[in-house]
């Protein structure tokens, strides 16, 4: 992946005010590149005058930040109690099989990232799969196939 230093620098200039802007800058980078490139952490640490170790510490602490590229489409499967007893493990299994990745993983072509989450608070709709922020309720293994087909088709 080609990371443009100019682009990174512009992004940092937009978000940065002082060394307290580290998280704001990293959030911007994550939104733009779907992960935090090594170059971004080094540039951010130099321009905001924080040690690289601190930038790395922040990057590894928050789940919102990723050091490896996330897929274009993020699938979150709710594993909360209600969804669990309604069959979310089977839904998750189906996704694992169809995509060929495990929890937290990303497909090799970087199209899909699969993750489990704890409870979305929409238990009446369970089991739930969230695709790029869109909630799909009452999921079954069969509906997984339909969902994946729909997303892949929209890709073109």
Q: Is residue 146 within the footprint of other proteins (CB under 8 A)?
A: no
The angle formed by the CA atoms of residues 56, 60 and 64, to the nearest 5 degrees, is: 120
Rounded Cα gap, residues 22 and 41, in angstroms: 10
| Residue 29 or 139 having the CB closest to other proteins | 29
Q: Is residue 20 within the footprint of other proteins (CB under 8 A)?
A: no
Q: Is residue 52 within the footprint of other proteins (CB under 8 A)?
A: yes
Q: What backbone torsions phi and psi does residue 70 show, to the nearest 5 degrees?
A: -90, 160
Q: Is residue 96 within the footprint of other proteins (CB under 8 A)?
A: no
Q: Is residue 102 within the footprint of other proteins (CB under 8 A)?
A: no
Strand ordering across the sheet containing 134-136: 112-117, 73-78, 129-131, 134-136
Number of shown-chain residues binding other proteins (CB under 8 A): 11
Rounded Cα gap, residues 75 and 100, in angstroms: 14
Q: Is residue 55 within the footprint of other proteins (CB under 8 A)?
A: yes
Site residues, other proteins (CB under 8 A): 38, 41, 51-57, 60-61
């Amino acid at each position: 992946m080609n990371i443009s230093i100019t682009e990174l620098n512009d992004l940092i200039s937009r978000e940065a005010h002082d060394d307290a802007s580290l998280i704001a800058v990293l959030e911007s980078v994550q939104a733009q590149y779907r992960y935090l490139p090594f170059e971004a952490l080094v540039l951010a640490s130099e321009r905001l005058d924080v040690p690289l170790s601190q930038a790395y510490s922040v990057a590894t602490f928050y789940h919102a930040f990723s050091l490896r590229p996330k897929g274009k489409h993020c699938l979150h499967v709710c594993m909360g109690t209600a969804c669990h007893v309604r069959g979310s493990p089977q839904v998750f299994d189906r996704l694992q099989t169809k995509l060929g990745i495990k929890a937290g993983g990303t497909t090799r072509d970087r199209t899909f990232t699969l993750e489990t989450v704890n409870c979305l608070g929409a238990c009446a709709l369970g089991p739930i799969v969230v695709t790029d922020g869109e909630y799909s309720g009452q999921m079954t293994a069969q509906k997984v196939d339909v969902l994946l087909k729909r997303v892949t088709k929209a890709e073109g």
